[in-house]
A and B are shown apart, each in its own frame.
Chain A
Amino acid sequence: MKNKIAALFVGLLFSLGLGISGMTQPEKVFGFLDIFGNWNASLIFVMIGAIAIHLVTYRIILKRKLPVFSNQWHLPTKRKVTVPLVIGSFIFGVGWALSGYCPGPALTSLASLNGRPVLFFASMIVGMIGFKMVDRKFNFTR
């Protein structure tokens, strides 16, 4: 139960951070990616702020034997740079540029009740269903 309340609280903080930072404004995301046009560098400070904090806290937190509300760590174990990783990231980047939305800001923006993020989010779920169907055949994730 405690881990669920924690997840809810983390989600709340995370979405407030996205909103304060400007990540929920597609035009800013577009401006950030538009380095050959009218570049708006402001969103680079979102990554700088987030990484500066987490780079330090990650090391401190992992000195603990266990997390507070779980009896194990659930960290990614894959180490190799693979073709699906690169192709998937490339496809994601193209969609990100086309819409100005990545998954977190899109989820947060659902609350704005604007039709555009709703349409994006629903299509994103369709893309995930599509992945699952294709993956059943090709087993990318193995």
Chain B
Amino acid sequence: MTEYIMPLLGGALIGLAASLMLFLNGRVTGISGIIYGATIAPEKGEISWRWCFISGMLLGGFILKVISPQAFAGILPTANWTLVVAGILVGFGTVLGSGCTSGHGVCGISRLSPRSLVATLTFMAAGIFAVVLFRNLNIYQ
């Protein structure tokens, strides 16, 4: 049962966070876009709130590490080079595709945006397909 309750609770907290971002700052909570805009493509007046958001996420990460370190368990049995390839794909793909799991998957779908619906179905389908492919390539040892 807790197997489903915790994801549901965590998801509700994510929904609440996205709602607060909209209510208070009038913005969509798209994390890939926030990171891109804070580091690689800064625009005047759009940088410091992004760094505040990033700091808040890191603060949350430290709190998790202290009170519930198992939140970071479950490391995949893959070689380090796969993380480099994956990181490059995720960085390139999320900016080209204008969003990731948060911006498209949570905020966009809640806004009933056709673009986000297509994006979410696409990255999920690609992920499902890629797991089959990588398993056959023995990437997950």
Residues of A within 8 A of B (CB): 2-28, 30, 33-37, 42-55, 57-58, 61-62, 64, 66-70, 72-76, 78-82, 84-104, 106-117, 119-132, 134-135, 140-141
Contacts and interface: CB of A to CB of B under 8 A. Distances in A.
B17 A17 contact: yes
Interface of B: 3-4, 6-29, 31-32, 35-36, 39-41, 48-50, 52-65, 68-69, 71-76, 78, 80, 82-98, 100-102, 104-111, 113-115, 118-120, 122-132, 134-135, 139-140
Given A54-B19, A86-B97, 9 more contacts: A7-B21, A12-B56, A26-B76, A50-B11, A93-B124, A94-B93, A96-B126, A120-B84, A127-B93
Contacts of B39: 125, 128
B125 to A, nearest CB: 7
B55 A11 contact: yes
B89 A119 contact: no
Contacts of A111: 58-62, 64-65
Contact of B61 (A19, A21, A43, A55): A19
A85 B29 contact: no
Given A23-B10, A50-B12, A107-B35, A58 B22 contact: yes
Contacts of B78: 98-99
Contacts of A35: 128
Nearest to B32: A103
Given A9-B20, A21-B6, A36 B32 contact: no
A67 B21 CA distance: 9
A6 B25 contact: yes
B100 A104 contact: yes
A3 B64 contact: no
A18 B10 contact: yes
B86 A101 contact: yes
Contact of B82 (A58, A89, A99, A131): A99
Q: Top 10 nearest A-B pairs by Cβ distance?
A: A127-B91, A21-B10, A49-B11, A123-B87, A88-B97, A11-B56, A111-B61, A93-B126, A53-B15, A15-B60
A21 B40 contact: no
A16 to B, nearest CB: 5
A118 B115 CA distance: 30
Contacts of B58: 11, 15, 107-108, 110-111
A6 B117 CA distance: 28
A79 B115 contact: yes
